[in-house]
Structure 1
Amino acid sequence: MMPIELTEIERVKTISKHDFLNNYVRRQKPVVVERLTEDWPAYTKWKLDYIKEVAGDRTVPLYDDRPVSHRDGFNEAHAKMKMAEYIDLLQSQPTNYRIFLYNLMKKVPSLQNDFKWPDVGLKLVKQLPMLFFGGENSKVFIHYDIDYSNILHFHFHGKKRCILFAPDQTPYLYKVPHALISREDIDFDNPDFEKWPALKNAKGYVADLEHGEMLYMPEGYWHYMKYLTPGFSMSLRAFPRSVTNLSKAVYNIFVMRNFDNFMRKFRGQAWIDYKNQQAVVRTHKKLKLPV
Structure 2
Amino acid sequence: MLLSEVDTVENISKEEFLAKYFRPQRPVLIKGLAKSWEAFDKWNLDYIFEQAGEQVVGLYDNKPADPNKATDEPVEFMKMRDYIKLIQSQPSDLRIFFYIITDKLPALLQNFSYPDLGFKYFKRIPTLFFGGSEARVLMHYDVDLGDLLHFQFEGKKRVLLFAPDQAPYLYKVPLSVHTVYHIDYENPDYTSFPALAHAQGYEIFMEHGDALFMPSGYWHFNRYLEAGFSVTLRSFPSSPKRLLKMLREVFVIRYTDKIMRKLFKGDWVSYKQKKAFRESEQALKRKMERNAS
TM-score > 0.5 by shorter chain: yes
Show CA shifts across 1:128-170 (max 9, x none): 4110000002100000010111000011112111110001111
Show CA shifts across 1:65-87 (max 9, x none): 12123322241111110111001
1:130 maps to 2:139: no
Residue number in structure 1 paired with 2:259:
262
Amino acid aligned to 1:137: E
User: CA offset at residue 34 of structure 1?
Assistant: 1.3
1:172-187 paired onto structure 2 within 5 Å? 172-187=169-184
CA contact (8 A) 2:57 2:78 kept: yes
SS of residue matched to 1:215: strand
User: CA offset at residue 245 of structure 1?
Assistant: 3.0
Query: How large is the Cα RMSD of the aligned pairs?
Result: 1.4
Q: Decide whether aligned partners of structure 1 residues 205 and 182 sit closer, same or farther in structure 2, where only a CA change above 3 A counts.
A: same
TM-score, structure 2 as length reference: 0.94
1:206-285 paired onto structure 2 within 5 Å? 206-285=203-282
1:73 maps to 2:70: yes
CA contact (8 A) 1:69 1:272 kept: no
CA contact (8 A) 2:163 2:217 kept: yes
CA distance in 1, matches of 2:40, 2:147: 23
User: CA offset at residue 286 of structure 1?
Assistant: 3.1
Amino acid aligned to 2:159: C
Residue number in structure 2 paired with 1:203:
200
User: CA offset at residue 108 of structure 1?
Assistant: 2.5
SS of residue matched to 2:78: strand
Percent identity for Structure 1 against Structure 2: 46
Which of 236-245 and 17-26 deviates more?
A: 236-245
Amino acid aligned to 1:120: L
Residue number in structure 1 paired with 2:99:
102
User: CA offset at residue 111 of structure 1?
Assistant: 1.0
Amino acid aligned to 2:18: L
1:15 maps to 2:8: no
SS of residue matched to 2:285: coil
CA contact (8 A) 1:193 1:200 kept: yes
CA contact (8 A) 2:91 2:133 kept: yes
CA distance in 1, matches of 2:154, 2:182: 29
User: CA offset at residue 242 of structure 1?
Assistant: 4.2
CA contact (8 A) 1:183 1:276 kept: yes
CA distance in 2, matches of 1:157, 1:41: 17
User: CA offset at residue 42 of structure 1?
Assistant: 4.4
Residue number in structure 2 paired with 1:190:
187
CA distance in 2, matches of 1:14, 1:275: 43
CA contact (8 A) 2:101 2:109 kept: no
User: CA offset at residue 237 of structure 1?
Assistant: 0.6
Q: Please list every run of 5 or more consecutive structure 1 residues that lacks an aligned counterpart in the other structure.
A: none
CA distance in 2, matches of 1:105, 1:251: 26
Q: Decide whether aligned partners of structure 1 residues 269 and 42 sit closer, same or farther in structure 2, where only a CA change above 3 A counts.
A: farther
CA distance in 1, matches of 2:210, 2:96: 20
TM-score, structure 1 as length reference: 0.95
Q: Please list every run of 5 or more consecutive structure 2 residues that lacks an aligned counterpart in the other structure.
A: 287-293
Amino acid aligned to 2:200: K
1:54 maps to 2:37: no
Show CA shifts across 1:224-279 (max 9, x none): 00001100000001123244433221111110011101101111110001000110
CA contact (8 A) 1:131 1:232 kept: yes
CA contact (8 A) 2:172 2:178 kept: yes
Stretches of 4+ aligned residues off by more than 4 angstroms: none
Residue number in structure 2 paired with 1:113:
110
Q: Decide whether aligned partners of structure 1 residues 104 and 58 sit closer, same or farther in structure 2, where only a CA change above 3 A counts.
A: farther
CA contact (8 A) 2:169 2:280 kept: yes
SS of residue matched to 1:205: strand
Residue number in structure 1 paired with 2:148:
151
